[in-house]
Chain A
Amino acid sequence: MYEIIENKSIGEGVNVYKISAPDIAAKALPGQFVILRVHKKGERIPITIADTDKNSGYITILVQTLGKTTHLLSELKAGDELADLVGPLGIPSEIENFGTVVCIGGGFGIAAVHPIAKALKNAGNDVISIIGARRKDLLLMENEMRSASSQLLIATDDGSYGTKGFVTDILKRLIVDDKKNIIRVIAIGPVPMMKAVSDFTKQYNIKTIVSLNPIMIDGTGMCGACRVLVGGETKFACVDGPDFDAHQVDFENLVNRQRFYKDEEKSSYECHRKEHHKEQ
């Protein structure tokens, strides 16, 4: 049913998967995600849809191996099947002709910002994209981002590629030095990066959208595990988001909620690796 068509490693701990899912591919819009289970006793995890091919009926996802589930996923080969795959979920990103927009992808967030940048460009926007990673070899989808943007700017923490520093440094330059008339910023990546972007654009009153990644279970609005505080109100990221107005988001709460099961996640992964080791 949910056949893996391709599983390719594109860097340390990051794999790109093409999965057969004609119904999802036909419907998915930028900003939406899927929930998958690798095996019958597995957990449900949310993953952003990075690309779709409606004609061939597959979706593309990028997944970083961080724990047991993503590790199991990374071991699947073309022809293997997922136990479950459901989507597209969440509200699609707002795509209009805004004017000049900046799409920021940090680390793994590049995969999530890519379809949005592509759609914004197709809608006639002047899309300036900024992508960043710790090192050059951790930078994802550079070519794809280049073709989805009118201008692509790159930052690495260690300066091994592009500008040395953070994506926010480049954003500052665009706003302060170049005095670009930026109508909207879309930022997806680690929470500290999204928060830094948000804090900065707030001073200039530039509308900023972030995509939040809290813990999810069903992904259809029935449990509230993914609840986030936005403008002081409780929202469910799976049905009200995952995109929200960055200037309204309580990032600290998001980080703390993401951390809640760290110990359990760690021991589950360690257990799995030990067993795995035994088998080999």
Chain B
Amino acid sequence: MENKNKEQIILNTKERLKIKRHDMPAQNPAKRVQNFKEVSVGYSIEEAIEEAKRCIDCKVPYCIQGCPVSIDIPAFIKLIEKGDFLGAAKKIREKSSLPAICGRVCPQEDQCEKACTVGKRKDSTSVAIGNLERFVADYEAEHGKKNNVSNGKNLYDKKIAIVGAGPSGLAAAGELRQKGYRVSIFEALHEVGGVLIYGVPEFRLPKSILLREVQILKDNGVEIFTNVVIGKTITVDELLNEKGYSAVFIGTGAGTPKFLNIPGEELNGVYSANEFLTRINLMRAYNMNEYDTPMKCGKTLVVFGAGNTAMDAVRTGLRLGYSDARIFYRRSRNEMTARLEEIHHAEQEGIKFDFLINPIRFIGDEKQNLKQVECERMELGEPDESGRRRPIPIKGSEFVADIDAAVIAIGTNVNPIVPSSTPGMDLNKWGYIIADEKTGKTTKKGVFAGGDIVTGAATVILAMGAGKNAADAIDQYLKTDIW
């Protein structure tokens, strides 16, 4: 193995560019819609090494700039090429504490892989950085013998409280613990992970992988308290003044669902995507023989929206047993915000997409159970403030469709519990916390914030980046006491 690799390392750029991108092997669509197991099955060792050879180790590695946490991508990929997978894992962990998750859920096509030089050439596609990151993290979990547990030391007496165990909070906790602080995470739900546990389905991110990453944090000495609603059970001020925390990081996300505000939305069978996904993912309602939380299943499920949450919901519906699970979206295919890979997976699984359709009202039976939805067709006009072409209703185009369940996946608002219970911290007009983009500093001394609670709904990796940056700023603050 070693000799063979040595020989291959001296491939020249031209030879490297000739290698075709290795697609991620996946479960067969017909089979996978009948289970909740992970769709992508991951690279073999050989595939990973072959894919790693495609990296041309650019002088200016733009991919690093494309990564919100600045992982040294060429360095870890070259280690894969040499067969040093644990070394590669260590390299990634210098910058990211959750590689198995990021490798799976990051929209790499908009980040590291978008910036990849190889992908910019004609007839070439970017190096599969996400797939490689995932491979390394999974390899490490299987063979690493906890070699990643290295920084369980208390270098400082100061304690830091992390509010919310989603991606930003977990990243901040990992980083601060590595710096030698005592870290406690407070989570409102009974399980940690935030959107990674209640939102992202098992078939995209197995819970065992999330638990594995969280276990590493715990092994490193991060304390986790579940069932604590900061703002209700304990306030931010109490953490600072009574419970002995020197700094607080707020990473509570943007978890309040938006509704369409149309007639009939209160009918039975109309769900927010958050409720639908929480019942199934967090409460395991897909397995009602074993778990107590109920869930209904009918024939036709329509999901309104076209982001990643909408894809997660519609694909979940299909696996739950809806024979017809489809997307209604008021714009066209081009404006969909979901990851291309997810859209592709959904289409493979038989999800139908209906574009330029806007719901007007839900119609129920005498028991107020959802039966139908009335919609109108749309056409695209001039671009709106989001830069996307504004959908305009076509007069006289109304129609009624029979449906058994509707899932509203049109975005989220801020959850007010923490902001409204923390005096002295400025909020913007939508109720999100105002915080410095680079440091996460809020207008309240000792309190930092990051992720969706600052930016509104964004991505997992951006939240992690914010958590990491805030960790650096907290370290600075605790060493200098300069605000």
Contact = CB atoms under 8 A, between A and B. Distances in A.
Interface string A31-72: 000000100011110000000000000000000000011000
Nearest to B408: A224
A268 B257 contact: no
A191 to B, nearest CB: 14
A37 B272 CA distance: 23
Interface stretch (B151-159, B259-267, B331-339): B259-267
Contact of A223 (B234, B272, B292, B296): B272
A232 to B, nearest CB: 10
A223 B274 contact: yes
A37 B257 CA distance: 24
A162 interface: no
Contacts of B226: 84
B259 A224 contact: yes
B227 A222 contact: no
B234 A23 contact: yes
B278 A218 contact: yes
A78 B227 CA distance: 21
B232 interface: yes
A87 interface: yes
B190 A23 contact: no
A39 to B, nearest CB: 8
A218 B188 CA distance: 9
B416 interface: yes
8 contacts: A41-B291, A86-B233, A223-B274, A227-B259, A239-B417, A253-B266, A257-B266, A259-B367
A225 B190 CA distance: 18
Nearest to B367: A256
B422 interface: no
Nearest to B235: A27
A43 B265 contact: no
A68 B295 CA distance: 15
B283 interface: yes
Contact of B275 (A88, A220, A223): A223
Contact of A264 (B190, B257, B294, B367): B294
Nearest to B254: A222
Interface in A233-280: 234, 236, 239, 250, 252-253, 256-257, 259-261, 264-265, 268
A264 B296 contact: yes
Contacts of B234: 23, 27
Given A89-B229, A221-B256, A256 B275 contact: no
Contacts of A252: 368
A206 B178 CA distance: 60
Given A217-B279, A221-B416, A253-B266, 15 more contacts: A23-B233, A27-B233, A41-B292, A42-B291, A43-B283, A44-B293, A88-B233, A221-B415, A222-B278, A224-B272, A225-B271, A225-B275, A256-B368, A257-B268, A264-B296
B369 interface: yes
Interface of B: 188-190, 198, 226-229, 232-234, 255-257, 259, 261, 265-266, 268-269, 271-272, 274-275, 278-279, 283-284, 288, 290-296, 367-369, 415-417
Contacts of A228: 266
Given A220-B188, A234-B266, A43 B367 contact: no
B416 A86 contact: no
Given A24-B233, A221-B417, A68 B261 contact: no
A224 B188 contact: no
Interface in A78-124: 83-89
B228 A260 contact: no
Contacts of A268: 288, 292, 294
Given A234-B261, A239-B416, A253-B266, A224 B274 contact: yes
B455 to A, nearest CB: 17
Nearest to A82: B227
A84 B283 CA distance: 13
Most buried by A among B275, B416, B417: B275
A235 B294 CA distance: 23
Most buried by B among A234, A250, A256, A259: A256
B268 A260 contact: yes
Contacts of A253: 266, 368
Contacts of A86: 188, 190, 227-229, 233
A69 B293 CA distance: 10
B278 A223 contact: yes
Contacts of B291: 41-43
Given A222-B278, A225-B275, A264-B296, A37 B266 contact: no
A229 interface: yes
Contact of A222 (B284, B290, B293, B415): B415
Nearest to A254: B266
B140 to A, nearest CB: 28
Nearest to A1: B227
A258 to B, nearest CB: 10
A274 B290 CA distance: 15
Nearest to B364: A256
Most buried by A among B226, B232, B261, B367: B232
A228 B416 CA distance: 18
Contacts of B294: 43, 261, 264-265, 268
Contacts of A42: 291-292
Contacts of A44: 190, 283, 293
A217 B283 contact: yes
Nearest to A23: B233
A125 to B, nearest CB: 26
B232 A87 contact: yes
Contact of A220 (B265, B284, B417): B417
Contacts of A43: 283, 291-294
A37 B261 contact: no
A83 to B, nearest CB: 7
Given A23-B228, A87-B229, A223 B257 contact: yes
B415 A220 contact: yes
Nearest to B290: A41
Contact of B369 (A87, A224, A260): A260
